Amino acid sequence: MQDTAGDAIPATDPIALFDAWLAEARASEPNDPEAMALATATPDGAPSVRMVLLKGHGPQNQFGFTFYTNAQSRKGGEILANSKAALLFHWKSLRRQVRIEGPLAEVSAAEADAYFHSRAPASQIGSAASDQSRPLDSRETYLARVEAFERELAGREVPRPPHWTGFRLAPERMEFWLDRRHRLHERRLFVRRPEAAREGPGGWTSTLLYP
């Protein structure tokens, strides 16, 4: 009954390991391998979670995991009030998951501009027309706002709303989980040493965890 296979999660650079797992997910997941659950909380600890898309990661991304959102949304308000957050990637096709924890910091205006204008024009207009997370009387109201923006901005660049921005999570803890037979799962936790510089790789300790 026992799974006798050796450790499948190596004690290596967790960013490089994440790169390898994400590459495999991109080849096997039917939809959105970059989808991740983002957990935030209010200053008094009330949690909330939702799915967002990873838009950059790794040392080349100023050592972090980046996503974009409306800073006036519920998650944006929670992030600005409490920068501590957690991410979860779950790749069902690979029977793997990765948990990442650390503080969030806002990206630069130049980064936000560059990503906003890389999106499809319809997506840019949809974001500009949305009061994200606020009450909406009907879907028709939102679609009418989208149409109004399309008419107003026809043939022009869509300006990025000042509240539409990105955040980067600097990982302090990364846990890799691998499904095993009979629920004898494998888990390895990487913890970044406090004295390690956050701008680059290295400075991690790791240990296996009981499943």
Beta partners for residue 206, in sequence order: 190
Q: How far apart are CA 200 and CA 211, in angstroms?
A: 30
3-state secondary structure of 62: coil
Residue 199 reports pLDDT greater than 50: no
Residue 58: pLDDT band with limits 50, 70, 90:
confident
Lowest mean pLDDT among 40-44, 67-71, 81-85, 129-133: 129-133
* Sign of the CA dihedral running 206, 91, 22, 3: positive
- Which of the four pLDDT bands, split at 50, 70 and 90, describes residue 55? very high
Q: Which residues pair with 189 in a beta bridge?
A: 175, 207
Instruction: Quote the pLDDT of residue 3.
Output: 55
In this predicted structure, the answer to whether residue 69 has a pLDDT above a threshold of 60 is yes
Q: Which residues of 21-50 are buried (b: 16+ CB within 10 A; e: fewer)?
A: bbeebeeebeeebbbbebbbbeeeeeeeee
Query: Are the CB atoms for 175 and 189 separated by under 8 Å?
Result: yes
pLDDT for 48 equals: 96
Q: What is the pLDDT of residue 61?
A: 58
In this prediction, residues 56-74 reach a mean pLDDT of 85
Query: What pLDDT is recorded for position 127?
Result: 87
DSSP 80-101: HH--EEEEEEEETTTTEEEEEE
The reported pTM is: 0.87
Task: Tell me the CATH class for 14-108+168-209.
Answer: mainly beta
Cα separation, 8 vs 96, whole angstroms: 11
Alpha-carbon distance values, 157 to 58, 77, 121, 154 (Å): 30, 27, 9, 8
Q: What is the mean predicted confidence (pLDDT) over 130-134?
A: 83
Q: What is the pLDDT of residues 78-87, one digit of tens each?
A: 999 999 999 9
Mean pLDDT, range 33-44, rounded to an integer: 96
* Cα separations in angstroms, 91 against 27, 36, 158: 11, 10, 35
Helix (H, G, I), strand (E, B) or coil at 30: coil
Higher pLDDT, 116 or 149: 116
CA angle 52, 57, 58 (to 5 degrees): 155
Q: What is the DSSP letter of 182?
A: G
pLDDT band at 134 (very low <50, low <70, confident <90, very high): confident
Question: What per-residue confidence (pLDDT) applies to 193?
Answer: 84
Beta strands in 8-134 (DSSP E): 35-41, 47-53, 56-58, 64-70, 84-91, 96-106
Dist CA 191 CA 55 (whole Å): 23
Q: How far is Cα 40 from Cα 31, in angstroms, rounded to an integer?
A: 24
Q: What are the residue boundaries of the structural domains of the chain, listed by start?
A: 14-108+168-209, 118-159
Least confident of 43-57, 105-119, 152-166: 152-166
Categorize the per-residue pLDDT at 99 as very low, low, confident or very high, splitting at 50, 70 and 90: very high
